[in-house]
Amino acid sequence: MEKELIKTILEATSGFLNTEQSKQLNKLLLRELEKYDITLKEADDTKRIRQNNELLQAFISAKKIEGCSDKTLHYYQSSIDHLFTAIQKVINEITTNDIRCYLAEYQERRKLSKVTIDNLRRIFSSFFSWLEDEDYIAKSPVRRIHKVRTDSLVKEVFSDENLETLRDNCMEIRDLAMIDLLASTGMRVGELVKMNRDDIDFQERQCVVFGKGNKEREVYFNARTKIHLKRYLESRSDNNPALFVSLSKPYTRLTISGVEVRLRNLGKKLNIAKVHPHKFRRTLATMAIDKGMPIEQVQKLLGHVKIDTTLHYAMVNQTNVRMAHRKYLG
């Protein structure tokens, strides 16, 4: 660093110093600068980006230790990175109004739903609350940004006819077994693709899945699912331990997107709206509550930490509400 500094000074003075004077100045600078440690001053923007990123990485590490999935960590990282890029302030200077304006502008520009904006608000709240708890900032600027009010929409579930139509039109035994397992257990698609053959207990008609945060739980399937799963596994000639694999060589483990595309294409072919893995889960929750299963047991079955989440998934049949009103209040 000293040599670079001396070179810069000599080049700047070359216009009014002769050769001998430049040599003397060079010797003087070499002698005097040896007494000091010289470092290049970091540009303000570079310093801000570095400091913000260091705190963000510390937060991501903390969430990873808490058991957040790689997908969740990536969502946190990208969402907060976009915030930093838009606001361009050091973290302890970011205000409540900065974040409010960012959310409003982001929603308008990308035409995002209220649910998505509230998800971003929750991510920012988690990040800045963590910074406050760790004494990096005095107070979270997200504290005064309240939950976004979202429209309460009744999400669709499969009818009995829908499910039977899907089953009857499966051209592959794998797809039939997959639909039956999703419909009878209510497991997440991420749990489905992680399963191995050894996770299935045909005797007890149950299987072990690893849910969010790598939490293990048991789910249960019906007799029809048992028959179709057995038939599918017996039809396979590969050695892959995965429960569901691709239809052609090299028979790799089925991915989430693979399941989603397969179901979506089947739904389009049959003119059934919104056929996706999560709809099977919501259908199971609705059917269970509709038939009188206690909400706590439905919560356990779905692997929800909070019962509010279970209530959000389950849509009680309006016909039963009418019948209950007549029974108890009519």
Q: Does the pLDDT at position 315 exceed 70?
A: no
Q: What percent of the chain has pLDDT over 90?
A: 59
Q: Tell me the average pLDDT across 168-195.
A: 95
Q: Does domain 44-133 bear CATH number 1.10.8? A: no
Cα separation, 81 vs 67, in Å, equals 21
pLDDT at 18: 82
pLDDT at 169: 95
pLDDT at 6: 74
- Eight-state DSSP code of residue 291: T
Query: Residues 289, 278: contact at Cβ < 8 Å?
Result: no
**Nearest residue to 156 via CA among 25, 286, 50, 27:** 286
Query: Residues 170, 176: contact at Cβ < 8 Å?
Result: yes
Higher-confidence residue of 115 and 125: namely 125
Cα separation, 121 vs 112, in Å, equals 13
Cα separation, 228 vs 180, in Å, equals 8
Q: What residue spans define the domains of the chain? A: 2-33, 44-133, 160-323
Q: Does domain 160-323 bear CATH number 1.10.443.10? A: yes
Please name the residue that has the structure tokens 């946190």: 76
Q: Tell me the pLDDT tens digit for each residue of 41-62.
A: 666 788 888 999 999 999 999 9
Q: Does the pLDDT at position 101 exceed 80?
A: yes
Tokens of 170: 């499966």
pTM of the predicted model as reported, rounded to 2 decimal places: 0.66
Tokens of 9: 């000074």
Q: Tell me the average pLDDT across 21-26.
A: 81
Q: Tell me the pLDDT tens digit for each residue of 216-261.
A: 889 999 999 999 999 999 999 999 999 999 999 999 999 999 999 9
Average of per-residue pLDDT values in the chain:
88
